[in-house]
């Protein structure tokens, strides 16, 4: 294929995906013509359109598509889309058509690529690494799987020496990268529709780790077997890099950070949870190896605001607390609920959860049931199908999952009925959680809770 920069037009099939939109922003910032299709009009697609990107939401071959020139246009698609008339048109007319992961690999192959992989924690870690790179003013670009609250985007350009990318294991996409530095945060079972079982996903991560040059620029959470030389990181146990002496004070977490040769005391930040201190530990390890000084890193950690929909917390004058999170795996839900219970052990917790994918709900039903049984009350939304068809998963429903949950206060709800039900509930803390379109509840909930009179 031609060099990417020789194309003048880039068409994105599934442009509203978080990974796809970062690439779209990259080419748009490079002065290229960017347009695309997505099934759903969301806040993200609306922001892309405000940035000058042309997006359609119907699967139609219109004049904008037929006027594109085959030799001048690169088509980029997400493997989450299986069948689409627009994609068929481009293939039948012999356009250059590439997966998102392939294009990301081509963009970053001439940079020092810092790739963050793992079934959990990769979005927070990659966003934090990007934030620290920006604060120490390294020449880097980043392509993230979430919206940074600090720079309000999933893409940032601050130079081209380094790139920070979220290395997605879905469809083995991360094997398209050429990482010079890499992190593996976890290798828990997930995406079993792709990998089949846990042993194959572990093998996928070993293949990813093998892409990193043999000079110990690979950082792996202690306890994860990766099959090659690496540096370890951990919390509350010895490792090459580790953090300990965790303590909480007024919703802030303090911790000490250890390198192989020194200890730096009293890092402080607003992001709760031991799992997030793990993420901070490896981010600090990377920046330390890139030459950043710890005084600057301390200030940078302290002003990290997190990622949209990763434990986004609002505390209201009426005493209520609202938390919104993207968690969609039992391990992630356990981490979020565990953090809430650590901070607020005596408060009544109402959880609204939207399962994501029939296959994931089926594969981890018992884990979901166990994690959701640790709250006071549950509203379980219908399963968000994403790329899957319900007829292929007979009997896998939210009602089926709810029967496994050992709570007295539990019910199934459609998305459209949920806001009304929330307003009828008695709770101190509300947690909305899931990776589908549950995020459409966020603004109405924030507006409503802020208007609720104090009961204190």
- pLDDT tens per residue across span 336-384: 898 888 878 899 999 999 999 999 899 889 999 999 999 999 999 999 9
Asked which of 175-189, 347-361, 397-411 is least confident by mean pLDDT, the reply is 175-189
Which pLDDT tens digit goes with each residue over 71-122? 999 999 988 787 899 999 999 999 999 999 999 999 999 999 999 999 888 8
Asked which of 134-148, 185-199, 268-282 is least confident by mean pLDDT, the reply is 185-199
What's the whole-model pTM score?
0.80
Question: What is the C-alpha to C-alpha distance for residues 144 and 120, in angstroms, rounded to an integer?
Answer: 14
First to last CA, the chain: 66
Mean per-residue pLDDT, 56-71? 95
Question: What is the C-alpha to C-alpha distance for residues 136 and 9, in angstroms, rounded to an integer?
Answer: 34
What's the CA dihedral at 354, 191, 36, 64 to 10 degrees?
A: -110
**pLDDT score of 355:** 96
**pLDDT score of 196:** 63
Share of the chain above pLDDT 70, in %: 97
Does residue 172 carry a pLDDT above 90? no
Does residue 325 carry a pLDDT above 80? yes
Q: Which helix (H) or strand (E) holds 126?
A: helix 122-135
Does residue 9 carry a pLDDT above 80? yes
Which pLDDT tens digit goes with each residue over 192-238? 566 666 777 888 899 999 999 987 699 999 999 998 999 999 999 99
Judge contact between 41 and 81, C-beta under 8 A: no
C-alpha angle 35-40-42 in degrees, rounded to nearest 5: 85
**pLDDT score of 148:** 93
**Confidence label for 318 from pLDDT (cuts 50, 70 and 90):** very high
Most confident of 241-250, 291-300, 311-320: 291-300
Does residue 290 carry a pLDDT above 60? yes
Domains defined along the chain, listed by start: 4-103 (3.40.50.720), 109-302 (3.40.1190.10), 312-451 (3.90.190.20)
**pLDDT score of 194:** 63
Query: What single-letter DSSP state applies at residue 148?
Result: B
Does residue 191 carry a pLDDT above 60? no
Average pLDDT, the chain: 91
SS3 state of residue 321: strand
Residue by residue, DSSP assigns 341-384 as HHH-TTS-EEEEEE-B-HHHHHHTHHHHHHHHTTSSEEEEEPPB
Does residue 406 carry a pLDDT above 90? yes
Give 268's strand partners.
254
Does residue 171 carry a pLDDT above 90? no
**pLDDT score of 125:** 95
**pLDDT score of 199:** 77
Does residue 388 carry a pLDDT above 90? no
**pLDDT score of 326:** 85
Nearest Cα residue to 320 out of 300, 340, 347: 347
Mean per-residue pLDDT, 274-288? 94
**pLDDT score of 61:** 96
């Amino acid at each position: 294929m031609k060099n990417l920069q020789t194309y003048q037009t880039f068409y994105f099939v599934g442009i509203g995906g978080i990974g796809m939109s970062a690439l779209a922003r990259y080419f748009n910032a490079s002065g290229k013509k960017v347009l695309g299709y997505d099934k759903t009009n969301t806040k993200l697609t609306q922001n892309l359109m405000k940035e000058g990107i042309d997006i359609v939401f119907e699967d139609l071959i219109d004049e904008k598509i037929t006027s594109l020139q085959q030799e001048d246009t690169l088509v980029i698609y997400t493997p989450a889309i299986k069948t689409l008339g627009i994609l068929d048109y481009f293939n039948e007319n012999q356009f250059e058509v590439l997966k998102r992961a392939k294009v990301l690999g081509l963009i970053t192959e001439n940079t020092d690529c810092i790739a963050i992989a793992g079934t959990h924690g990769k979005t927070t870690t990659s966003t934090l690494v990007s934030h620290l790179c920006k604060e120490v003013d390294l020449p880097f670009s980043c392509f993230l799987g979430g919206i940074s609250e600090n720079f309000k985007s999933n893409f940032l350009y601050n130079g081209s020496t380094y790139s920070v990318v979220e290395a997605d294991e879905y469809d083995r996409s991360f094997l398209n990268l050429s990482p010079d530095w890499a992190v593996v945060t976890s290798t828990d079972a997930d995406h079993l529709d792709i990998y089949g079982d846990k042993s194959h996903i572990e093998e996928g991560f070993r293949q990813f780790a093998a892409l990193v040059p043999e000079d110990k620029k690979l950082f792996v959470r202690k306890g994860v077997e990766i099959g090659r030389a690496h540096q370890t990181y951990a919390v509350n146990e010895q490792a090459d890099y580790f953090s300990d002496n965790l303590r909480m004070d007024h919703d802030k977490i303090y911790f000490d950070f250890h390198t192989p040769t020194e200890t730096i005391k009293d890092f402080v930040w607003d992001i709760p949870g031991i799992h997030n201190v793990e993420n901070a530990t490896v981010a600090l390890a990377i920046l330390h190896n890139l030459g950043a000084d710890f005084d600057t890193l301390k200030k940078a950690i302290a002003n990290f605001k997190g990622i949209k929909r990763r434990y986004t917390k609002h505390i209201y004058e009426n005493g209520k607390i609202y938390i919104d999170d993207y968690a969609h795996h039992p391990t992630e839900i356990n981490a979020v609920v565990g953090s809430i219970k650590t901070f607020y052990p005596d408060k009544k917790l109402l959880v609204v959860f939207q399962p994501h994918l029939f296959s994931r709900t089926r594969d981890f039903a018992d884990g979901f049931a166990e994690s959701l049984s640790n709250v006071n009350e549950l509203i379980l939304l219908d399963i968000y199908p994403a790329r899957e068809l319900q007829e292929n998963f007979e009997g896998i429903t939210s009602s089926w999952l709810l029967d496994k949950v050992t709570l007295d206060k539990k019910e199934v709800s459609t998305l459209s009925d949920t806001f009304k039900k929330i307003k009828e509930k008695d709770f101190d803390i509300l947690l909305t959680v899931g990776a589908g379109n549950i995020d459409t509840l966020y603004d109405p909930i924030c507006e409503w809770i802020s208007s609720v009179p104090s009961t204190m």
